[in-house]
């Protein structure tokens, strides 16, 4: 892996993160934030490091196709650092017009000398020069490639994922979805209306030169534009807002918590939805925020403290087994494959494997089963994910309903914007349709049975 060292060079920071993500399957955001936290980079260099990291990850499939067409050996046979130096250099040449080719090549060669030797530096120089010379020929496709493989390479997504989307929605919709996943997502925040108003926060941010526009579907949402550095925004430190996509806010609208109720959030980290419940009830609900990992709950507590939200009790517990008094509402924001948030999690598309979905479904079913034990008669469960895959969404819900006659599905239309509700009454959002993260949510109500209300069934004779 070469001699790792601290650096203030944004290209080297991006390289170290790319190599770590590929080698250890670390999460790109955490790895990059960790590296950036060690250095005092200028705003421009921090921005460049993020652009290089996420852009290279996002377009890795396309870039690998280009590089493989120019190499006489398998790209994967190269040392990890050299492979990622090539990807990083190719990304700059193919996608960043503001960086001259010679600069991208020279900086890549310097990195190859630092993390390789004279031979690998020569390889990087030769290959990247050919990338620049042949940029108009890309993407190149393997001989005999079918339409699915061509689409996967052109849009830089795993073939198996493109295949399943084409089978479900067709080629045009899949192309639009992939293209949306390759665009940087909007920066969206949730206004903490226990501390300020949407209009007042927008005015404060605009005074800092940050563009603001109203959210599309949630009144406490603001979409920000321009350079947003949370560390330099006083309003963030004062707890006036939380970074959160509108698709996540919609889930709490569907849950519709009320003051005085007990609400359980079975998979609460990082705490955005638990905080939103508190805000929506003016801190007059009792929210039990459970998560299996204590370290994740620390972040939940930090956010709640910053936002000055009361009535939320973080609890270390496995949501599949958590036992507590019955609640009025239970939120199951289930761990999932995350295929709806690929534009935010550029590394996830390369980490995910087809077999992962079946494993996740088992967890999702177990969480929903426990929620059924925790909600009172007449109470509500909301099941939500940030995936687009039917096995993790409606199939989980429909199998649950088939097994539990005391639950019924309720139409989401009275609670959320009609554009986000499908013909079955489920909430569905898509990046290429709504410019929100992809998500799914279902509202389930436990109907009180005659046994539960202490009545004897009437004989029908």
* Residue-by-residue DSSP string for 312-362: EEEEE--TTT---S-EEEEEEE-----GGGTTT-TTHHHH--HHHHHHHHH
Domain end residue (candidates: 219, 241, 263): 241
Kindly state whether residues 268 and 161 are assigned to the same domain: no
CA 217 to chain CA centroid, Å, is 19
Contact 291, 297 (CB under 8 A): yes
Catalytic residue among 178, 267, 268, 386: 386
Kindly state whether residues 217 and 285 are assigned to the same domain: no
Contact 148, 75 (CB under 8 A): no
Q: Which of 201, 214, 322 is nearest to 264 (CA)?
A: 322
Q: What is the CATH number of the domain that holds 208?
A: 3.30.70.1170
Q: Please tell me the predicted confidence (pLDDT) of residue 449.
A: 64
Q: How far, CA to CA in Å, does 243 sit from each of 189, 234, 340, 342, 348?
A: 4, 14, 17, 17, 20
Kindly state whether residues 391 and 330 are assigned to the same domain: yes
Contact 289, 272 (CB under 8 A): no
User: For the chain, what is the domain count?
Assistant: 4
Q: Which single residue is written with the structure tokens 């199998």? A: 399
Parallel, antiparallel or unpaired: strands 262-265 and 286-291: parallel
Q: Is 62 within the bounds of a domain? A: yes
Two tokens at 378?
Answer: 């007449």
Kindly state whether residues 60 and 99 are assigned to the same domain: yes
Q: Is 253 within the bounds of a domain? A: yes
Answer yes or no: 386 catalytic.
yes
Residues in the chain predicted with pLDDT less than 50, given as ranges, are: 1-6, 453-461
- Tallying the residues shown for the chain, one arrives at 461
State the Cα angle at 348 between 322 and 364, rounded to 5°: 25
Kindly state whether residues 175 and 313 are assigned to the same domain: no
Give residue 47's domain range: 10-137
On the 0-12 / 13-18 / 19+ scale of CB atoms within 10 A, 392 is buried
Peptide bond into 270 cis (omega under 30): yes
Tell me the pTM: 0.92
Contact 270, 303 (CB under 8 A): yes
Kindly state whether residues 130 and 151 are assigned to the same domain: no
Kindly state whether residues 177 and 87 are assigned to the same domain: no
Q: Please tell me the predicted confidence (pLDDT) of residue 455.
A: 41
Q: Please tell me the predicted confidence (pLDDT) of residue 43.
A: 83
Distance of alpha carbon 150 from alpha carbon 35, whole angstroms: 35
Q: Is 169 within the bounds of a domain? A: yes
Kindly state whether residues 331 and 386 are assigned to the same domain: yes
Q: Is 368 within the bounds of a domain? A: yes
């Amino acid at each position: 892996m070469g001699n790792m060292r601290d650096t203030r060079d944004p290209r080297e920071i991006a390289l170290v993160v790319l190599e770590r993500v590929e080698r250890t399957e670390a999460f790109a955001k955490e790895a990059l934030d960790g590296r950036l936290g060690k250095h005092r980079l200028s705003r421009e260099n921090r921005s460049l490091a993020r652009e290089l990291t996420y852009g290279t990850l996002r377009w890795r499939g396309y870039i690998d196709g280009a590089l493989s067409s120019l190499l006489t050996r398998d790209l994967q046979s190269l040392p990890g650092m050299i492979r990622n130096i090539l990807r990083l250099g190719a990304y700059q040449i193919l996608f960043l017009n503001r960086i001259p080719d010679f600069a991208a090549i020279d900086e890549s060669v310097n990195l190859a000398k630092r993390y390789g030797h004279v031979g690998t530096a020569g390889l990087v120089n030769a290959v990247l020069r050919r990338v620049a010379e042949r940029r108009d020929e890309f993407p190149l496709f393997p001989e005999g490639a079918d339409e699915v493989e061509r689409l996967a390479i052109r849009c830089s997504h795993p073939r198996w994922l493109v295949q399943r989307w084409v089978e479900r929605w067709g080629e045009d919709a899949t192309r639009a979805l992939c293209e949306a996943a390759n665009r940087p997502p909007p920066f969206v925040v949730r206004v903490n209306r226990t501390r300020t108003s949407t209009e007042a926060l927008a005015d404060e941010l605009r005074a800092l030169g940050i563009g603001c526009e109203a959210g599309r579907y949630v009144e406490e949402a603001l979409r920000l534009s321009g350079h947003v550095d949370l560390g330099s925004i006083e309003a963030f430190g004062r707890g006036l807002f939380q970074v959160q996509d509108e698709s996540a806010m919609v889930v709490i609208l569907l849950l519709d918590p009320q003051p005085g109720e007990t609400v359980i959030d079975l998979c609460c980290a990082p705490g955005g939805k638990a905080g939103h419940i508190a805000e929506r009830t003016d801190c007059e609900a009792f929210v039990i925020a459970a998560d299996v990992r204590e370290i994740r709950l620390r972040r939940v507590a930090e956010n709640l403290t910053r936002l000055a939200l009361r009535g939320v009790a973080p609890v270390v517990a496995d949501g599949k087994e958590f036992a507590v008094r019955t609640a009025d509402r239970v939120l199951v924001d289930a761990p999932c494959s995350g295929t709806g948030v690929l534009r935010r999690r550029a590394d996830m598309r390369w980490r995910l494997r087809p077999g992962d979905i079946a494993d996740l479904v088992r967890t999702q079913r177990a969480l929903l089963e426990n929620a059924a034990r925790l909600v009172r008669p007449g109470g509500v469960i909301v099941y939500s994910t940030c995936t687009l895959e039917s096995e993790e969404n409606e199939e989980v819900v429909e199998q649950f309903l088939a097994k539990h006659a005391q639950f019924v599905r309720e139409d989401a239309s009275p609670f959320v914007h009609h554009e986000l509700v499908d013909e079955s009454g489920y909430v569905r959002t898509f990046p290429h349709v709504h410019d929100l993260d992809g998500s799914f949510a279902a509202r389930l109500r436990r109907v009180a049975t005659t046994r539960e209300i202490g009545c004897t069934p009437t004989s029908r004779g």
